Structures are given as C-alpha cells and as structure tokens.
Structure 1
Amino acid sequence: MILASCRWRTRDGLVTRNVYAEAPPRGEYELPPLGHTLPSLIHRSRARIPPARTVGTAVLP
C-alpha cells in the first residue's frame, strides 16, 4: 500500500523518485518544489475548518 501511495504522488508530481540499478533494485523518494508547498497549504486549510464537537465517544458535526 505504501508503494502504491508513493507512485500516485509521483504521478501527480508531489514527490520524485530516483531509481538505482542495483541488485536488489533501490529507489529513493524526495519532495520537489511542488511538494514543499503542501505543509503550508494543509496548515491554512485546517485553520479554516472549525473543530469538531465531541460527546462521549461520538464526534458531532
């Protein structure tokens, strides 16, 4: 599942993958400039979402 997730993000341009011709094959992932913009985007998005109210163990909208 982790490999599939990394491949989706590579396809979307959020991470880059460097592949090394070794036995066994090895690949490394890193953030390109687009990937470095995500933390600030997520932080700003979370700031706009009101906190959920909880009652006991249930989360209410």
Structure 2
Amino acid sequence: MTEPQVWTLIGVFATGLFGMMTLMSTMFVRIIRTEIQGVHRRLDRLDADVNALMRHTFGVQRD
C-alpha cells in the first residue's frame, strides 16, 4: 500500500470510530434521561400514595 492509501484508511477508521462514539454517547444520554424521568414519576406517585394513607389513617387533609 502506498502512503496516501494508508492515510486514507487511517482517516476512514478514525471517522468510523468517532461516529460510533458519538452514537453510543447519544444513546447513553437518552437512556439516562428516560430513566431519570421514570424516577420522578415514581416519586410523584409515591407522594400521592403517602397522602392517601395519611388521609385514610389520620383523617388529615393536605393540599
């Protein structure tokens, strides 16, 4: 292989590696964001459950 071919292959491999790293980091951030949103929903539901238990047990009205 000649020197220009080697540099072309290096460029192609570097571009492919950079593209894969970008894709994986984007997917990772999307997954983490989705999981965090799911936790906030669970916490909101937990708050509603605790309020319902307090109303049922103690007759407390909380706004």
Larger Rg: 2
| More helix as a share of residues | 2
Higher RCO (Cα < 8 Å, 6 or more apart): 1
Query: Structure 2-normalised TM-score?
Result: 0.28
Whose strand proportion is higher, 1 or 2?
Answer: 1
